[in-house]
Amino acid sequence: MAKVPVQFTLNGSEKAEFVESGTTLLHALRDKIGDTSPKGGCHQGTCGACSVIIDGELRLSCLTLAETCGGADIRTTAGLAEGGVLHPLQRAFLDAFATQCGFCTPGMIMAAKVLLDRTPNPSREDVVEALSGNICRCTGYEPIIQAVLAAARANSQNAA
């Protein structure tokens, strides 16, 4: 199978790779580029563990072909911390015990980030809706919802 060049921005830095045609973005990120923060769960679009932000929109990297991402701005959980300081969402997930096995966490955080970017003060219903495509088998969701609400509060306090 012929390889095709793919070039995009990942968490602010330029990446260029040759991938086999038909390679998913998830595979390219994890196995070619080495960003293992998006997780491969169901590969069916059901679990949300592979969620990444492409050009500001939440998408599933397992159902996105890498070669359709030419020139895109891709954000993953691995790029959230700055200078060793965790992103408010990451901090809130830790503080609220919103992570148990951790497999769903990067997808949850990406879904929550898109929400907070657009709706800085979300209601509980907004949070539930924003996370509705992400499955967690450990926490029962409540700590995750509380973490996202806490991160929103922390953001608005910092902004005040």
Partner 1 sequence: MSLALQTFSSVKDANAALRAAGTRYLGGGTLVVRAANEGDVSVSSLVRVTDPGLSQIVISGGKVRLGASVTMAAIARHPELTALAPAARAVGGPAIRNMATVGGNLFAPAPYGDFAVALLALDATVVTEDGEVPVETFLADRDTSRAIATAVDVASPKAESFRFLKVSRVKPKGVSVLSIAALLELAPDGTVTSARIGLGCMADRPIRALAAEKALLGCKLTPQEIAPALAAAGEGIAPITDPIASAWYRAEVLPVYLGRLLLD
Instruction: Give me the least distance between CB of 68 and partner 1, in Å please.
Output: 7
Query: Token match 């069916």: residue?
Result: 44
> What residues between 45 and 104 interact with partner 1 by CB under 8 A?
45, 48, 51, 57-60, 62-65, 67-68
Q: Are 118 and 55 in contact (CB under 8 A)?
A: no
95 versus 138: smaller Cβ distance to partner 1: 138
Question: Are the CB atoms for 76 and 108 separated by under 8 Å?
Answer: no
DSSP secondary structure letters along 113-126:
HHHHHH-SS--HHH
CA distance 108 to 19: 27
Tokens found for residue 23: 């390679």
Output 62 or 151, the one with its CB closest to partner 1: 62
Q: Any idea what the Cα angle at residue 61 is, between residues 87 and 1, rounded to 5°?
A: 140
Residue 92 or 112 having the CB closest to partner 1: 112
CB of 122 to partner 1, least distance (A): 13
Examine residue 20 and tell whether it contacts partner 1 (CB under 8 A). yes
Which of 7, 121, 132, 156 touches partner 1 by CB under 8 A?
132
One of 9, 11, 15, 43 touching partner 1 (CB under 8 A): 43
d(CA 41, CA 87): 24
Q: Which positions touch partner 1 (CB under 8 A)? A: 1-2, 4, 20-24, 27, 43-45, 48, 51, 57-60, 62-65, 67-68, 111, 114, 128-130, 132-134
